[in-house]
Amino acid sequence: MTPRPSKITASRSKGLLTIEWEDGHHSEYPLAGLRAACPCAECRGGHEKMGGGGSPDMLEIPLVPTGSIELEKLEGVGNYALQLVWKDGHSYGIYTWEYLRQLCPCGEEH
């Protein structure tokens, strides 16, 4: 079972989303990387290209420049995910805890 975050913060000036996990793990995500890895159907090229949510193979898809990387706000989605709302209005990607853990740039196995 994927651990849940115990604290989530975002710094617009640093361009980072930081998550402290229940199991003590610390993750720092560059906002540009999170926007490029947006899991929504629009950003992944349509529903036909959507794979199993949170698959590490998703990171093998070429990440292309997208709209704004300025974060407007964070919203919780139930007890399982985070929705990022970008300055350009894009808010379709729902980043599950599992997906965020897999995206962690620390290089450790999760």
Distance CA 82, CA 100 (A): 9
| Span 61-95, pLDDT tens digits | 444 455 678 899 999 999 999 999 999 889 999 99
pLDDT of residue 43: 85
Amino acid at 80: Y
pTM for the model stands at 0.78
**Domain 5-103, CATH:** 3.30.2020.30
1 — pLDDT class (breaks 50, 70, 90): confident
Delimit the domains of the chain by residue range. Answer: 5-103
| Span 6-49, pLDDT tens digits | 999 999 999 999 999 999 999 999 999 999 999 998 888 765 65
Q: What is the DSSP letter of 48?
A: G
Long-range interactions of 22-26: CB distance < 8 A, separation 24+: 25/101, 25/104, 25/106, 25/108, 25/110, 26/106
The pLDDT of 56-61, averaged and rounded, is 51
110 — pLDDT class (breaks 50, 70, 90): low
**pLDDT of residue 57 exceeding 60:** no
Neighbours of 57 (CB within 10 A): 8
